C-alpha cells in the first residue's frame, strides 16, 4: 500500500515537474531561488557584491560568457541554471510564477510561450528603465516588437531568432531529376516569390517520379502558414480570429490537398524514428528555422548518416519570410538587483556575445551587427555538414521582412490542441480538409472557452 501510494504521489508530483525527459528531473527541479543578498542590506555601495541567478534552457551557448562577465565585473557572481528543454523551462517558470517565488534575476523566455508571459508582463521589469531605448536599434526590429507588451513596455532582450529556410536533400532531388543545388532548388520554388502552392506543386512532381513523400509531416508547415498571416489566431485587438478567418481556412485546405496527395510522410514530429527518417529517403524537404539545423544534423547522425547524406540548406521560404522560435532574456520584478540583472542581460545580448554564443551553440543572433559578423557568416562545423551552405549569410537574409504577429492568450493552445489533432488526421488520411477543419472548430469550442 505504502509503496504504491508513494509511487503514485511521486508520479504526479515529479512527472508534472519534469514532464518530458529523464534528465530534467535532475536539472529542471533545482530551483536557484536564493540570491544571496548578504550585502544587500548595507545599501547601494558602488562595488557591492551581487549574486545574480540566471535560468536558461536548451543549448544557449552562454556558459563561457558568464565566466568572462565575472572576470570583467569582480563584484558580480553568476549562479546559472540550465534546463534541458524549452518545454521543461516553461513548466519551471510557470510554477514559480504561479507560486510567486523562486524566479531568478535573469529568466530566459522562449518565443513560443511569449503569449503566456505577456499575460503577466507587469511581473517583468520594464527594461526601458534600464536603458533599453538606447540599445534597441541593435536588434532586428520585429524582435523588439515581440518583446514589447501592450503598454509599450520592453520586457526582454533578444538573444537568438529562428528565421526559416528550407532544408532539402540534394541526393534525393537528383534521383528525381530535379535541381539538386541550392540555387536551382530555390529557383524551383520561385526564389524570392516562393509560395506554398509552388512548393506543393514541385512536391507533386517529386512524388510522381519517386513515389516518396515530399516533407516530413504537416505540423511545422501549418505553423509557418499561420505565422505568415498578418493576423493569425487572434486579431491585433486581441479577439479570437479562427472561425471566420478565410485566409486561415484557405491555407488549411491547401495543406489538406498536399497531405491527401501523399506529400506528407506522416512522421512523428520530434521523433522521426530516432533520426532514421532523415537517412532512409522518407522525405526530401524539411522546414528549417536557424536552431533546427543543429537538430537536423543530430537526427541524421543518430540515424546513421553524415555529411554525405545529402542535406543542404537553401535561401528560400514559401510564402515569404517567417520566424519560428527564439529567446529573450527578461528580468522578473522579484529580482533584488534589477539594475545589475538588466546590465547582464544587455551585455549577454550584445554583438560579441551573440557571435560567441552562435559559435558555441549555433544560436542565430537577433543583433544585426552580429548577423553580418564573419564569425557568423563564415564556415563552421554545421555549414560543412550542410554541403558547405553559407548558413549565416542565408539566415541573415531570411531574417529580413519578418513581422511580429499578435499572439493571444491561448495561441499555443490553439496551435497544439485545436489544430494539432486535425493535422494528424490529415497526415494519416483519417479525414479530408473540410472535415478536419470542422473537427478543429468543434475542439475550439471545447478547449478555448
Partner 1 sequence: MHVSTVERSRPRQPLTRRQRLSRADVRYSPYLYVAPFFVLFALVGLFPLLYTFVVSLNDWNLLTGPGEWVGLANFQRELTDPLFWNSIFNTFSIFLLSSIPQLIAAVAIAAVLDTNLRAKSFWRLSIIVPYVVTPVAVALIFSNVFGEKYGLVNNALQYFGADPIMWKTETLPSHLAIASMVNWRWTGYNALILLAAMQAVPRDLYESAAIDGAGAVRRFRSITIPSIRPTMIFVIITATIGGLQIFTEPKLFNASSSVPGGPQRQYQTTVLYLWDLAFNRQQFGRAAAVAWILFLLIVAIGLINFQISRTISTSATKKSRQTKRKAVA
Residue 132 near residue 154 (C-beta atoms within 8 A): yes
Closest approach of partner 1 to the CB of residue 295, in Å: 12
Nearer to partner 1 by C-beta: 23 or 400? 23
Beta strands 106-110; 50-57: pairing state: parallel
**Quick check: 7 binds partner 1 (CB under 8 A)?**
yes
Strand, helix or coil for residue 155: coil
Closest approach of partner 1 to the CB of residue 6, in Å: 10
**165, β-bridge pairs:** 288
How far apart CA 115 and CA 410 sit, in angstroms, is 7
Nearer to partner 1 by C-beta: 417 or 435? 417
Site string for partner 1, 112-141 (x = CB under 8 A): ----x--xx---------------------
**Quick check: 21 binds partner 1 (CB under 8 A)?**
yes
**Quick check: 20 binds partner 1 (CB under 8 A)?**
yes
Closest approach of partner 1 to the CB of residue 281, in Å: 13
Member of 71, 152, 246, 446 binding partner 1 (CB under 8 A): 446
**Quick check: 98 binds partner 1 (CB under 8 A)?**
yes
**367, β-bridge pairs:** 139
If you count them, how many residues does the chain have? 449
Closest approach of partner 1 to the CB of residue 207, in Å: 18
**Quick check: 31 binds partner 1 (CB under 8 A)?**
no
Residue 121 near residue 109 (C-beta atoms within 8 A): no
Nearer to partner 1 by C-beta: 142 or 419? 419
**Quick check: 301 binds partner 1 (CB under 8 A)?**
no
Nearer to partner 1 by C-beta: 247 or 413? 413
For residue 164, give the nearest of 109, 111, 89 by alpha carbon.
Answer: 111
Detail the DSSP E strand segments found in 280-343: 285-289, 311-314, 323-330
Please give the grid coordinates belonging to residue 156: 526582454
For residue 199, give the nearest of 161, 230, 232, 228 by alpha carbon.
Answer: 228
Strand, helix or coil for residue 55: strand
**Quick check: 91 binds partner 1 (CB under 8 A)?**
yes
Please give the distance of CA 14 from its chain centroid, rounded to a whole number.
26
**Quick check: 78 binds partner 1 (CB under 8 A)?**
no
**Quick check: 153 binds partner 1 (CB under 8 A)?**
no
Closest approach of partner 1 to the CB of residue 219, in Å: 7
- The DSSP element (H or E) to which 145 belongs, if any, is helix 141-146
Member of 249, 276, 336, 397 binding partner 1 (CB under 8 A): 276
**Quick check: 44 binds partner 1 (CB under 8 A)?**
no
Member of 15, 101, 236, 379 binding partner 1 (CB under 8 A): 15
Nearer to partner 1 by C-beta: 139 or 220? 220
* CA dihedral (14, 18, 20, 25) positive or negative: negative
**Quick check: 302 binds partner 1 (CB under 8 A)?**
no
Candidates 1-9, 26-34, 286-294, 313-321 — which segment interacts with partner 1 by CB under 8 A?
1-9
Candidates 4-12, 43-51, 136-144, 387-395 — which segment interacts with partner 1 by CB under 8 A?
4-12
**196, β-bridge pairs:** none
Please give the grid coordinates belonging to residue 186: 530555390
Candidates 327-335, 360-368, 381-389, 406-414 — which segment interacts with partner 1 by CB under 8 A?
406-414
**Quick check: 88 binds partner 1 (CB under 8 A)?**
no
Angle value at C-alpha 131, between 127 and 133, nearest 5 degrees: 85
Beta strands 323-330; 156-169: pairing state: antiparallel
**Quick check: 425 binds partner 1 (CB under 8 A)?**
yes
**Quick check: 281 binds partner 1 (CB under 8 A)?**
no
Closest approach of partner 1 to the CB of residue 123, in Å: 9
Residue linked to cell 543578498: 37
Member of 51, 55, 88, 97 binding partner 1 (CB under 8 A): 97
Member of 158, 170, 219, 319 binding partner 1 (CB under 8 A): 219
How far apart CA 75 and CA 169 sit, in angstroms, is 51
Please give the grid coordinates belonging to residue 260: 491527401
Nearer to partner 1 by C-beta: 116 or 337? 116
Residue 315 near residue 330 (C-beta atoms within 8 A): no
**Quick check: 25 binds partner 1 (CB under 8 A)?**
yes
Q: What is the torsion angle, in degrees rounded to the nearest 10, for the CA atoms of residue 209, residue 211, residue 216 and residue 221?
A: 60
- Output b/e per residue, 166-181; b: 16+ Cβ within 10 A: bbbbbbbbebbebbbe
How far apart CA 357 and CA 350 sit, in angstroms, is 11
Footprint of partner 1 (CB under 8 A): 1, 3-5, 7-8, 11-12, 15-16, 19-22, 25, 91, 94, 97-98, 116, 119-120, 219, 267-271, 273-274, 276-277, 410, 412-413, 415-417, 420-421, 423-425, 428, 446-447
Amino acid at each position: 500500500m505504502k509503496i504504491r501510494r508513494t509511487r503514485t504521489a511521486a508520479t504526479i508530483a515529479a512527472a508534472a515537474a519534469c514532464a518530458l525527459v529523464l534528465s530534467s528531473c535532475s536539472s529542471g527541479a533545482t530551483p536557484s531561488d536564493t540570491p544571496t543578498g548578504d550585502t544587500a542590506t548595507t545599501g547601494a555601495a558602488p562595488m557591492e557584491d551581487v549574486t545574480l541567478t540566471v535560468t536558461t534552457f536548451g543549448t544557449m551557448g552562454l556558459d563561457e560568457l558568464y565566466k568572462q562577465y565575472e572576470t570583467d565585473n569582480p563584484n558580480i557572481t553568476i549562479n546559472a541554471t540550465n534546463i534541458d528543454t524549452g518545454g521543461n523551462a516553461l513548466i519551471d517558470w510557470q510554477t514559480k510564477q504561479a507560486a510567486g517565488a523562486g524566479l531568478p534575476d535573469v529568466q530566459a523566455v522562449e518565443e513560443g510561450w511569449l503569449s503566456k508571459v505577456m499575460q503577466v508582463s507587469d511581473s517583468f521589469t520594464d527594461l526601458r528603465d534600464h536603458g533599453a531605448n538606447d540599445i534597441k536599434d541593435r536588434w532586428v526590429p520585429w524582435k523588439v516588437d515581440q518583446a514589447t507588451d501592450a503598454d509599450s513596455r520592453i520586457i526582454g532582450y533578444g538573444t537568438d531568432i529562428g528565421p526559416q529556410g528550407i532544408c532539402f536533400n540534394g541526393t534525393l532531388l537528383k534521383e528525381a531529376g530535379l535541381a539538386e543545388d541550392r540555387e536551382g532548388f530555390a529557383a524551383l520554388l520561385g526564389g524570392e516569390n516562393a509560395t506554398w502552392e509552388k512548393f506543393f506543386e514541385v512536391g507533386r512532381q517529386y512524388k510522381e517520379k519517386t513515389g516518396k513523400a515530399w516533407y516530413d509531416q504537416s505540423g511545422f508547415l501549418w505553423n509557418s502558414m499561420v505565422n505568415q498571416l498578418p493576423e493569425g489566431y487572434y486579431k491585433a485587438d486581441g479577439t479570437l480570429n479562427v472561425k471566420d478567418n478565410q485566409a486561415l481556412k484557405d491555407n488549411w485546405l491547401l495543406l489538406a490537398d498536399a497531405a491527401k496527395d501523399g506529400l506528407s510522410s506522416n512522421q512523428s514530429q520530434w521523433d522521426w524514428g530516432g533520426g532514421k527518417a532523415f537517412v532512409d529517403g522518407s522525405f526530401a524537404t524539411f522546414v528549417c528555422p536557424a536552431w533546427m539545423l543543429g537538430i537536423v544534423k543530430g537526427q541524421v547522425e543518430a540515424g546513421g548518416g553524415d555529411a554525405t547524406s545529402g542535406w543542404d540548406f537553401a535561401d528560400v521560404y514559401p510564402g515569404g519570410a517567417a520566424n519560428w522560435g527564439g529567446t529573450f532574456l527578461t528580468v522578473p520584478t522579484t529580482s533584488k538587483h534589477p539594475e545589475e540583472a538588466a546590465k547582464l542581460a544587455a551585455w549577454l545580448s550584445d554583438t560579441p556575445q551573440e557571435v560567441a554564443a552562435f559559435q558555441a551553440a549555433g544560436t542565430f543572433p537577433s543583433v544585426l551587427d552580429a548577423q553580418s559578423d564573419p564569425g557568423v557568416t563564415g564556415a563552421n562545423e554545421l555549414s560543412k555538414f550542410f554541403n558547405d551552405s553559407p548558413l549565416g549569410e542565408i539566415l541573415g537574409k531570411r531574417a529580413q521582412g519578418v513581422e511580429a504577429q499578435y499572439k493571444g492568450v491561448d495561441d499555443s493552445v490553439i496551435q497544439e490542441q485545436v489544430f494539432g489533432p486535425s493535422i494528424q488526421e490529415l497526415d494519416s488520411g483519417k479525414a479530408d480538409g473540410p472535415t478536419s477543419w470542422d473537427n478543429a472548430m468543434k475542439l475550439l469550442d471545447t478547449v478555448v472557452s
